Amino acid sequence: MSTADCIECGAEVSLHDDLEIGEILDCMTCGAELEVVDVSPPVLEQAPELEEDWGE
């Protein structure tokens, strides 16, 4: 299991092995939603805010 830094608080975020670009992770320290924008090496950015038209 690898790690990356939270873009919001700088804490270490644990990453699972089957990480996918476009996936959303939660920072367990500050609660920020983070989007995986690269996997090699892993890079996290702030996830987009929930939009009104999101759904199924």
Q: Rounded to whole angstroms, how far apart are CA atoms 50 and 42?
A: 23
Least separation, in Å, of the C-beta of 22 and other proteins? Answer: 4
Q: Is 49 in the site for other proteins (CB under 8 A)?
A: no
- How would you classify residue 8: left for phi > 0, otherwise alpha for psi between -120 and 50, otherwise beta? alpha
Q: Is 11 in the site for other proteins (CB under 8 A)?
A: no
Quick one: 11 or 21, whose CB is closer to other proteins? 21
Site map (CB under 8 A) of other proteins, residues 15-34, x = contact? ---x-xxxxx----------
CB count within 10 Å of CB 34 equals 22
